[in-house]
Amino acid sequence: MKDVYILGIETSCDETSCSIVKNGVEEVNTVVLSQIDIHMLYGGVVPEIASRNHVKDIVFVIDKCLKDSSVTMDDISAIAVTYGPGLVGSLLVGIEAAKTISYIYNKPLVPVHHIRSHIYANAIGKGLEFPLMALIISGGHTELLYMKDHFDYKLVGSTLDDAVGECYDKVARVLGIPYPGGPVIDKMAHEGVDNYKLPVPMNNDSFNFSFSGLKSAVINLAHNLEQRGELLVKKDLACSFQNVVVESLASKTVRAMEKYNANNLILAGGVAANRGIREKFSNLSMEKGFNFSYPDIKYCTDNATMVAAAGYYLFTNGIVSDLDINAESGAKFV
Ligand code: KG4
Ligand code: ZN
């Protein structure tokens, strides 16, 4: 059978990325330009600045990705691009680039939902094993998704308020840690001791999550200690906070897997890089005998490799679109 090469493009937030993936699993080449150093100065992603940088970088990124690989446009079967959710100006840059290439080279266009891409970061190098439970944890999402197959899935639970990554970033800000705070809190958590008592959110039968109460508890605790002139041991607070997050994610995920009889667990999204979360699920998988996998760190944050990997399964199942696709900043996956 002829090899299928997908060219993927990702610009949903603050990474400009292009990738070529062979047969949905083999990364041929990827280029990612991160704007993190720029947005760090503002304490978070500034949408207009993100779009401007995508405009500046997109042609260079696509060009470099193709030039540094052995693949030419003749070999490419389809162009996959993130259509949403994300920042509308950022999304539009990637979409317009994808449409242009699709038109000029007469290649099908494959619109990819950002959550699907994060899930398929797990397929790079190895494919996916169904049925599976996907725990999607990022700056904008906290979702438990049961997947019977590539196109047969059901939302089991989601956050009622803040996403877990958002909660990490807000707690980090209170502790004086620059954006994005998640990786720093994770590191501090491993250096600290669980000395602060924090509430485990939504500690009930529901598969839904809630993180805003936990965030407020951390902020109040820090402010109260400050007002009383008492010492706040930041690494201990990071440790206590992370333990509560891990506990909440782990207990609901394991219960959901039992309910749905899913023996495979995958993590997806930027927070899947978290060491505490990975360690907890690794231990649980050995204890309970389920298969657990998570993406390589470089595929956890936004990148086009996962877009091209996801695009392969859409394309080979005939899911393509014409040139009138638009950015959908609030696109729902389920
Ligand atoms: O998936 P992603 O790149 O962007 C979205 O699609 O939202 O995720 C970014 C989020 C940020 O909130 C960042 O703080 C968080 O992932 N993050 C982490 C870690 N690495 C990144 N959170 C906790 N622990 C980490 N090690
Ligand atoms: Zn993302």
Q: What is the pLDDT of residue 1?
A: 82
Whole-prediction pTM value?
0.96
Q: What is the pLDDT of residues 119-168, one digit of tens each?
A: 999 999 999 999 999 999 999 999 999 999 999 999 999 999 999 999 99
Q: By percentage, how much of the chain surpasses pLDDT 90? A: 97
Residue 276 lies inside a defined structural domain of this protein: yes
d(CA 69, CA 95): 22
Atom of ligand 1 nearest to the CA of 169: 14
Do 9 and 116 reside in the same domain of the chain?
A: yes
Q: What is the pLDDT of residues 174-216, one digit of tens each?
A: 999 988 899 999 999 999 999 999 999 999 999 999 999 999 9
- Ligand 1 pocket test: pick from 82, 271, 278 the residue with the most ligand atoms within 8 Å of its Cβ: 271
Residue 326 lies inside a defined structural domain of this protein: no
Q: What is the pLDDT of residue 179?
A: 87
Do 109 and 175 reside in the same domain of the chain?
A: no
Residue 277 lies inside a defined structural domain of this protein: yes
Do 191 and 258 reside in the same domain of the chain?
A: yes
Give me the chain's average pLDDT, please: 97
Do 275 and 304 reside in the same domain of the chain?
A: no
Would you say the CB of residue 169 lies under 6 angstroms from ligand 1? yes
Interval between CA 115 and ligand 1 midpoint (Å):
14
Atom of ligand 1 nearest to the CA of 166: 12
Do 282 and 305 reside in the same domain of the chain?
A: no
Atom of ligand 1 nearest to the CA of 274: 26
Could you tell me the pLDDT band of residue 68, with boundaries at 50, 70 and 90?
A: very high
Do 139 and 254 reside in the same domain of the chain?
A: yes
Q: What is the pLDDT of residue 309?
A: 98
Would you say the CB of residue 295 lies under 6 angstroms from ligand 1? no
Average pLDDT of span 78-106: 98
Do 71 and 158 reside in the same domain of the chain?
A: no
d(CA 14, CA 22): 25
- For residue 78, what are the domain limits? 5-122+299-316
Q: What is the pLDDT of residue 42?
A: 92
Look at residue 113 and tell me whether its pLDDT is greater than 90: yes
Residue 247 lies inside a defined structural domain of this protein: yes
Cα first-last separation, the chain: 33
Would you say the CB of residue 180 lies under 6 angstroms from ligand 1? yes
Interval between CA 166 and ligand 1 midpoint (Å):
8
User: From the CA of 238, which ligand is nearest?
Assistant: 1
Interval between CA 187 and ligand 2 midpoint (Å):
21
Do 134 and 277 reside in the same domain of the chain?
A: yes
- Number of domains, the chain: 2
At 27 the three-state DSSP class reads: strand
Q: What is the pLDDT of residue 54?
A: 98
Average pLDDT of span 73-87: 98
Interval between CA 181 and ligand 1 midpoint (Å):
8
Do 280 and 309 reside in the same domain of the chain?
A: no
User: From the CA of 82, which ligand is nearest?
Assistant: 2
Residue 327 lies inside a defined structural domain of this protein: no
Would you say the CB of residue 35 lies under 6 angstroms from ligand 1? no
Average pLDDT of span 80-103: 98
Identify the CA nearest to 282 among candidates 266, 268, 269: 266
Question: What is the domain-level CATH number for residue 165?
Answer: 3.30.420.40
Q: By percentage, how much of the chain surpasses pLDDT 70? A: 100
Residue 328 lies inside a defined structural domain of this protein: no
Atom of ligand 1 nearest to the CA of 137: 1
Q: What is the pLDDT of residue 154?
A: 97
Could you tell me the pLDDT band of residue 9, with boundaries at 50, 70 and 90?
A: very high
Q: What is the pLDDT of residue 313?
A: 98
Identify the CA nearest to 81 among candidates 71, 91, 67, 90: 91
Q: What is the pLDDT of residues 172-182, one digit of tens each?
A: 999 999 888 99
Contact by Cβ (8 Å): 266, 116:
no
Identify the CA nearest to 165 among candidates 211, 202, 205, 130: 211
Do 286 and 223 reside in the same domain of the chain?
A: yes
Do 148 and 285 reside in the same domain of the chain?
A: yes
Do 103 and 176 reside in the same domain of the chain?
A: no
Identify the CA nearest to 232 among candidates 164, 179, 180, 176: 176
**Would you mind telling me the total number of residues written for the chain in this entry?**
334
Q: Which residue has the tokens 């959908």?
A: 328
Interval between CA 84 and ligand 2 midpoint (Å):
10
125, two tokens:
């190098």
Atom of ligand 1 nearest to the CA of 118: 1
